[in-house]
Structure 1
Amino acid sequence: MSGNILVLTAIDDELDKARAPDGVEVIYTGVGKVNAASAATLALLVLRPRLVVNYGTAGKIHKMHNGLVEVAHVIQRDMMAMPLAPRGRTPFSPEIDRLSSGHDGVICGTGDSFVTAADPWLVENNVDIVDMELYAIAHVCQRHSMPWRAFKFITDEADDNAADHWQDNVKDGEELFWDAMKPLLAQTAQ
């Protein structure tokens, strides 16, 4: 696997690993930041990829986003250690609180909760979408000097209908994701 693309996704309902083209390894991390960090660390150490890509589903905060979006920046929406640090910042940590992929796209807020209600903090901090794994994956990549990218398929509006809409739409982004991967595969083949 060394030198190829590693795709990390939470569950098999989001992405069928049997569809992965040559040069791509798909690993299911499980749901949430702890599972994602653990799986990402092990996968990086064992597989030594050239690039890590996170694919998953997301709820949208800003109504203008639909379909498949690429993530430029990710923050922790559920790091709430006030008064030791403002929301979103890990206290006593020299780590950066906003991780950047180096590519254009949206701002994702990661947290260990499924968002089903409005949260003014998300709007105030220009968060476009919410997920449950990306910050952990990006953090692991940063610690290991590994480039990362992330693509999220918008399944719901992060409101009181989010769970039903997620269930209805969880599989709908797979084709769009594999299409988005074609240019990345061409780049890594060079």
Structure 2
Amino acid sequence: MNTTADPRSRVTGVVLAGGRGLRMGGVDKGLIEIGGRALVEAPLDALRPQVGRLIVSANRNTARYAAFGVHVVADLQPDYAGPLAGLAAAAQAATTEWLVSAPCDTRTLPTDLVARLVLAAERFGVDAAYACDADGPQYVVCALRTSLAGALARAAASSRRALRDFLHAQRAVAVHFCDWRCANLNTPEALTC
């Protein structure tokens, strides 16, 4: 295990904002504003103190995402291949040992999310861990070793693009967060709640 004075320097955070936003009528979900702030800002703010570097995975409006002071990467596949493609691009761009991800529409994240995910994976000697809340597994909220970049790219290019399947193939550890609920905002109705 690589230890440094600041463990955050071992981790890159990535906010996944590369989807088509079909359930939102095709708009770029991460840039939808609530209370004068883009949805992507909440997970960026939550990850910022927990990681050494931040990336946004986005397939459009890259200049607007870059304005949040983060590096922006696009999917390696041009067909919106889902979270695996965004994770593959981020893992390839990261210069750290670990990558921890969150979707752009997650309003809150635990303050110890990164530390607990990475520690659990290292404790069990595996390359991945994912968060569970009261509703069950939240696979997109996960930690992955960046050495999995090639495997992520191959999985994203395959016909089976389920992040859940990829994580299970890595023997990923489930980490339970009892006082947190992921509560993604996937529909226009969810924005009004």
Q: Give the structure with the larger helix fraction.
A: 2
Name the TM-score, length of structure 1 as normaliser: 0.30
Greater relative contact order (Cα < 8 A, sep 6+): 1
